[in-house]
């Protein structure tokens, strides 16, 4: 049996998952997205050439790798086809290597319309969603009225479900949010074009993954978002609408939990967050600004500036425990170059008590005051370094302190956006 790896974000997303998934897939036969949708923005840089993926798994640049969209993903047909067209125009063959689960719920125009109308109505208490319709699409799934990929094969049923859902949501759009209603027939017509292209890519993903595993072919499960955005364990309600933790890879891909052998937690060397919600170690000074500039912290999906702050070991400890992280990959270490000192949050003061792990929910997190430990920075450049011994002593000390505080070993380090700018201490696929 093969060894399979799950890659997940341990913070508020954008940890550098895409880069690492791409790097690791030289070892994998298949890469699977198992949750989220086109709210994700995963950046790959190969030989200086940048590719941003939203729905298509980050193994697509490797010709021999098959890519899978599992049942846990909410799929926008429009976004998917746009992404395929862009990749194919750049000379990457996608359609023949992409396999879509028939059970994925679709994101349709009324989901995005509702997402945006609700955010507008929330005013200053908005969640800061990506506006892609992710939340409303998951609502439909749980309410058992979702239109799923499989419904594209049955014209009559598709038309009927569309009429019902559009009628339901037009009431909300018009009378609660004073937004424009949508037309079910127009959406149906659009879907006619999409279905011709999407249906040939639909297959029994769950079965294929089982068979590949039986044959000893290695798989990689690619998480989107991050643990602190998880619908259950994140800073609720400032979260996304899916489980982003490693365990979600089993139901989201349609595989048994025993197939998830190694969990690689992607950890940015500092913290960022895009959208609203509490962020205890957020910086509002020139240090935070410097991290944002050097790290080019702008959302890969919406282009919004990401909020930046110190590394939060107490939040990471929570992520390590919930995900069962086997090894950490510390990314963007180079962005920390040149700092005089570095703060690490080792716990919080909450209601007069000291705690050493992130509490649950937005209210408790907002009430936390971080407790910092200060380490010396380093002035040397770590950009592009490919061996651990080449790192400055203070950078090595920072990494060792993170290991001790968070309770997981550092398996990999990323020192630049390019595939090659990577240090491996313990290869996740090694026995
Ligand atoms: P993801 O959503 O977790 O895949 O991360 P994003 O792609 O949204 O954001 C990570 C950003 O950091 C991208 O622009 C990457 O190209 C870049 N990046 C990844 N690793 C490194 C690194 O080690 N150093 C630097 N400087 N940039 C990196
Ligand atoms: P990747 O995979 C960072 C955030 C949004 C918002 C919240 C809810 O690139 O790491 P949603 O549209 O999902 O309902 O928005 O979640 N968010 C992300 N933040 N990286 C992402 O994905 C994100 N996907 C969603 O900014 O705060
Ligand atoms: Mg991203």
**Which DSSP symbol is given to 358?**
P
Are 372 and 274 in a shared domain? yes
Is residue 76 in a domain?
A: yes
Would the pLDDT of 292 be above 60?
yes
Give yes or no: 42 in active site: yes
CA dihedral sign, ordered 388, 389, 390, 391: positive
CA distance 53 to 73: 14
Are 210 and 156 in a shared domain? no
CA distance 107 to 149: 10
3-state secondary structure of 69: strand
DSSP character string of 132-158: SSHHHHHHHHHTT---BGGGGG-HHHH
Rounded to an integer, the average pLDDT of 350-375 is 97
In ligand 2, the atom with minimum distance to the C-alpha of 36 is 13
Are 233 and 94 in a shared domain? yes
Q: How many domains does the chain have?
A: 3
Are 139 and 152 in a shared domain? yes
Are 206 and 180 in a shared domain? no
Give backbone dihedrals phi and psi of 412, rounded to 5 degrees, phi first. Answer: -145, 160
In ligand 2, the atom with minimum distance to the C-alpha of 302 is 26
Q: What pLDDT is attached to residue 399? A: 98
Task: Kindly list the distances between the CA atom of residue 147 and the CA atoms of 135, 190, 248, 263, in Å, as whole numbers in the listed order.
Answer: 15, 14, 22, 32
Are 420 and 328 in a shared domain? yes
Q: What is the CATH number of the domain that holds 303?
A: 3.90.170.10
CA distance 126 to 277: 9
pLDDT band at 2 (very low <50, low <70, confident <90, very high): low
pLDDT band at 381 (very low <50, low <70, confident <90, very high): very high
40 CA distance to ligand 2 centroid (A)?
6
Are 159 and 297 in a shared domain? no
CA distance 68 to 217: 14
Are 302 and 406 in a shared domain? yes
Angle at 322 between CA 258 and CA 244, to 5 degrees: 80
Would the pLDDT of 310 be above 60?
yes
Is residue 429 in a domain?
A: no
CA distance 121 to 125: 9
Are 122 and 184 in a shared domain? yes
Are 131 and 117 in a shared domain? yes
Is residue 431 in a domain?
A: no
Is residue 430 in a domain?
A: no
Let me know if 108 is exposed, middle or buried by CB neighbors in 10 A (0-12, 13-18, 19+).
buried
Rounded to an integer, the average pLDDT of 294-312 is 93
Among candidate residues 239, 259, 279, the one where a domain is terminated: 259
Q: Which residues approach ligand 2 with their CB closer than 6 A?
A: 9, 12-14, 39-42, 127-130, 132, 134-135, 224-226, 229, 240-241, 274-275, 300
Q: Percent of the chain beyond pLDDT 70?
A: 100
Are 114 and 172 in a shared domain? yes
Task: Report the greatest alpha carbon distance in the chain.
Answer: 66
Rounded to an integer, the average pLDDT of 291-301 is 93
CA distance 399 to 373: 14
Domain encompassing residue 292 = 267-424
Would the pLDDT of 225 be above 80?
yes
Would the pLDDT of 187 be above 60?
yes
Q: What pLDDT is attached to residue 431? A: 84
* Global pTM exceeds 0.85: yes
168 CA distance to ligand 3 centroid (A)?
33
Q: What pLDDT is attached to residue 329? A: 98
Q: What pLDDT is attached to residue 302? A: 86
Q: Which residues approach ligand 1 with their CB closer than 6 A?
A: 9, 13-19, 41-43, 45, 295-296, 300, 331-332, 334-335, 414-417
Instruction: Indicate the average pLDDT of the chain.
Output: 97
Q: What pLDDT is attached to residue 299? A: 87
Quick one: how far is CA 185 from the chain centroid? Answer: 34
CA distance 406 to 322: 12
Rounded to an integer, the average pLDDT of 16-26 is 97
Q: What is the CATH number of the domain that holds 174?
A: 1.10.300.10
Give yes or no: 431 in active site: no
Q: Which residue has the tokens 């110190």?
A: 310
pLDDT band at 300 (very low <50, low <70, confident <90, very high): confident
Rounded to an integer, the average pLDDT of 194-218 is 97
pLDDT band at 337 (very low <50, low <70, confident <90, very high): very high
Mutate to test the pocket of ligand 1, among 45, 130, 417, 423 (most ligand atoms within 8 A of CB): 417
Confirm if 35 and 17 have CB atoms less than 8 A apart.
Answer: no
CA distance 239 to 291: 23
């Amino acid at each position: 049996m093969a060894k399979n790896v799950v890659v997940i974000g341990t913070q508020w997303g954008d940890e550098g998952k895409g880069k690492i998934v791409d790097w690791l897939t030289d070892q994998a036969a298949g890469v699977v997205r198992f949750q989220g949708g086109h709210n994700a923005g995963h950046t790959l840089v190969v030989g200086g050439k940048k590719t941003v993926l939203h729905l298509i798994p980050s193994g697509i640049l490797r010709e021999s790798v098959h890519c899978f969209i599992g049942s846990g993903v909410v799929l926008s047909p429009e976004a998917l086809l746009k992404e395929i067209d862009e990749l194919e125009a750049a000379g990457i063959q996608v359609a023949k290597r992409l396999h879509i689960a028939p059970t994925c719920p679709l994101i349709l125009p009324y989901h995005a319309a509702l997402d945006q109308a609700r955010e507008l109505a929330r005013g200053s208490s908005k969640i800061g969603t990506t506006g892609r319709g992710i939340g409303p699409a998951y609502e439909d799934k749980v309410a058992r009225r979702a239109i799923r990929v499989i419904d594209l094969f049955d014209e009559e049923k598709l038309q009927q479900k569309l009429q019902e859902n559009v009628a339901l949501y037009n009431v909300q759009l018009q009378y609660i949010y004073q937004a424009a209603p949508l037309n079910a027939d127009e959406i149906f017509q659009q879907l006619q074009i999409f279905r011709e292209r999407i249906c040939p890519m639909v297959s029994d993903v769950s079965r294929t993954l089982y068979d590949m595993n039986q044959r000893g072919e290695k798989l990689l499960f690619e998480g989107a978002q991050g643990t602190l955005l998880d619908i259950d364990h994140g800073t609720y309600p400032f979260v996304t609408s899916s489980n982003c933790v490693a365990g979600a890879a089993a139901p989201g891909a349609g595989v048994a939990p025993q197939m998830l052998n190694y969990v690689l937690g992607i950890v940015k060397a500092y913290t960022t967050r895009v959208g609203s919600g509490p962020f205890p170690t957020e910086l509002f000074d020139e240090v935070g600004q410097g991290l944002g500039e050097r790290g080019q912290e702008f959302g890969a999906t919406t282009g919004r500036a990401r909020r930046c702050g110190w590394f939060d070991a107490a939040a990471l400890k929570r992520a390590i425990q919930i995900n069962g992280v086997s090894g950490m990959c510390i990314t963007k270490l180079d962005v920390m170059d040149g700092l005089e000192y570095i703060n690490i949050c080792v716990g919080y003061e909450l209601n007069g008590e000291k705690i050493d792990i992130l509490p649950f929910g937005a209210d408790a997190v907002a009430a936390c005051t971080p407790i910092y430990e200060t380490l010396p920075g380093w002035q040397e450049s770590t950009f592009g370094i490919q061996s651990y011994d080449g790192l400055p002593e203070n950078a090595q000390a920072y990494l060792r302190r993170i290991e001790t505080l968070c309770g997981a070993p550092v398996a990999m380090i990323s020192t630049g956006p390019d595939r090659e700018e990577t240090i491996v201490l313990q290869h996740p696929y090694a026995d």
